[in-house]
Structure 1
Amino acid sequence: MNYGISSLSIIPVRKEPSEKSEMVTQILYGEHFEIREQMVGWSNIKLAYDGYEGWIDSKMITPLTPRTWNKIERSPFAVTGDIFAIIPVNEEQNLMLTAGSTLPVWRPYKKEFSVNKEKYKLNGEVFYGELKDPRNIAIKQALKYFNAPYLWGGRSPFGIDCSGFTQVIYKMIGIKIPRDAGEQVKHGMALSFVDEAEPGDLAFFDDEEGNIVHVGIIWKRNKIIHASGKVRIDNVDQFGIFNVDTKRYTHKMRVMKKIIQSNGTS
């Protein structure tokens, strides 16, 4: 088995091995993956974080040895919190990290992480270990994405979809959930009433066939943060999402889920 890691800010993952193919997700900086199949110019990968599979341009891969893979797997999990972070590599080059990027082999006492043999310093906001107030952190981070444009398959402030948004926010508070809303809905405890929801809980919405097609993050009473056209704040009740601009319901409520427990674990 071959392994790789993203040493780029964002790597698009395609459904098929073609630049014209649909982008199904993105790999953020520091996320590592298995290389399952290779063909001319393309590699089929499986992300270690969420098991998502797809095709990426082989030129974008930074190879990992099995030893480095194992070292990353054993190291503390650390994630960037700043919406953007610039890290100098040398006098001529910088790394740009978006919120939710992984910092492999994070050493908190040195504020340092490493990719293969290269070490980098980061003085910005980093989340790792058990967090004291994960709900407050989730909302604080979610609001940083306000007005970020919607992008199918996106997971960054440059463009993000509804389930990419919820997944990355939960990643920052140390809770791993699947990539797609239809899988995210299978996690957590269902709530009976909107009034039971707390900041950071997830709300899921379906279509006329009962398919989960949308997800958002409950903020305060009857408010939801979600990616629809852009990351926005709308009203929410037992019927669904009420768009504050168009003054109409846009998404039909299916269920609300409590995934964050009182101690911050899932």
Structure 2
Amino acid sequence: MNYGISDLSIIPVRKEPAERSEMVTQLLFGEHCEILEENENWSKVRLAFDNYEGWVDSKMITGIDEALFQVLNKELQVVANDTFNLVFQDQDYSNKLIVPGSSFPFCDLEKKSFKIANKSYFYQGKVSENSYGEHLRDSIIESALKYFNAPYLWGGRTPYGIDCSGLTQIVYKLNGIVLPRDASEQVMVGDTLTFVEEALPGDLAFFDNDEGKITHVGIIWDRHKIIHASGNVRIDNVDHQGIFNVDKKRYTHKLRVIKRIIQQ
């Protein structure tokens, strides 16, 4: 097979084809991918959502053909919005617990149904269908707060564990906006703001290390407040110097730039 889709709640994507290799991201339920390379047990994939590449256990991927892959690329994204959603396979007694940001392909909003490959599902809970308009910034903050206190996990994209750029990417996905996976890529998107005082809720703040490499990102909430994943998803103070951790009572991240993705 040259294309695949996730029929599992969460699939770890690893740097190398080995269980002990670090997880670099996760493929969520309903997200699809191109298969670039295969060996006996592993498949190197490129995620259609953000073009991120890594290795997955081949047994975890459900194969699809190129025609379906291309249709999925063009389809309007409908994603799970509640902190937890239950989905039920048609004519099957089992159910699956789905995390926010999961995709529901070929979704019928009236019947609350969707399809993955040749399987039909029904869902409970709310979905996002990219229609927030003038309330988009409020919706982004509401989405971010759903992850409050979620533990930090390198490569994570779920309430069970999430990293800083995973948080910003999924929060934006829940609101119909596609961001790259890593902070070093996300910083290339949007318009640069000159002063932190210009920032509005939903703008992204980026932070660098001593070598000038972007290593952290967070979501501006209110004036001088930021939501970010560092140890856990938390709210801290932010100013022109960087993030001031209210528990440690010191600056932990050095501000590099603030970017505006939402033009409203």
Asked if these proteins are the same fold (TM beyond 0.5), I'd say yes
Q: C-alpha root-mean-square deviation of aligned residues, in Å? A: 1.2
Distance 2:215 2:67 in 1: 40
**Please, what TM-score do these two structures have when normalized by structure 2?**
0.96
Q: Secondary structure at the match of 1:163?
A: helix
Q: Secondary structure at the match of 1:235?
A: strand
Q: Deviations over 1:10-41 (max 9, x none)?
A: 10011110001111111111110001110010
**Alpha carbons of 1:142 and 1:129: their partners in 2 closer, same or farther (altered >3 Å)?**
closer
Check if 1:66 corresponds to 2:66.
yes
Alignment map for 1:88-103 (pairs within 5 Å): 88-89=88-89, 92-103=93-104
Check if 1:12 corresponds to 2:12.
yes
Q: CA deviation at 1:117?
A: 2.3
Q: Is the 8 Å Cα contact of residues 75 and 106 (structure 1) preserved in structure 2? A: no
1:135 corresponds to which residue? 137
Mark the runs of 5 or more structure 2 residues left unpaired by the alignment. none
Aligned residues: 262
2:116 corresponds to which residue? 115
Aligned-pair identity in percent equals 57
Q: Deviations over 1:49-76 (max 9, x none)?
A: 0000010000101111223223322322
Q: CA deviation at 1:105?
A: 1.4
1:195 corresponds to which residue? 197
Check if 1:183 corresponds to 2:185.
yes
Does 146-155 or 88-97 show the bigger shift?
Answer: 88-97
Q: Secondary structure at the match of 1:183?
A: helix
* AA at the equivalent of 1:77: Q
Q: Is the 8 Å Cα contact of residues 76 and 106 (structure 1) preserved in structure 2? A: no
Q: CA deviation at 1:91?
A: 5.5
2:57 corresponds to which residue? 57
Q: Secondary structure at the match of 1:88?
A: strand
Q: Secondary structure at the match of 1:21?
A: coil
Check if 1:146 corresponds to 2:163.
no
2:106 corresponds to which residue? 105
* AA at the equivalent of 1:3: Y
Q: Deviations over 1:57-98 (max 9, x none)?
A: 001011112232233223221111101111223553111110
**Please, what TM-score do these two structures have when normalized by structure 1?**
0.95
Q: Secondary structure at the match of 2:141?
A: helix
Distance 1:237 1:253 in 2: 8
1:42 corresponds to which residue? 42
Mark the runs of 5 or more structure 1 residues left unpaired by the alignment. none
Distance 2:70 2:214 in 1: 36
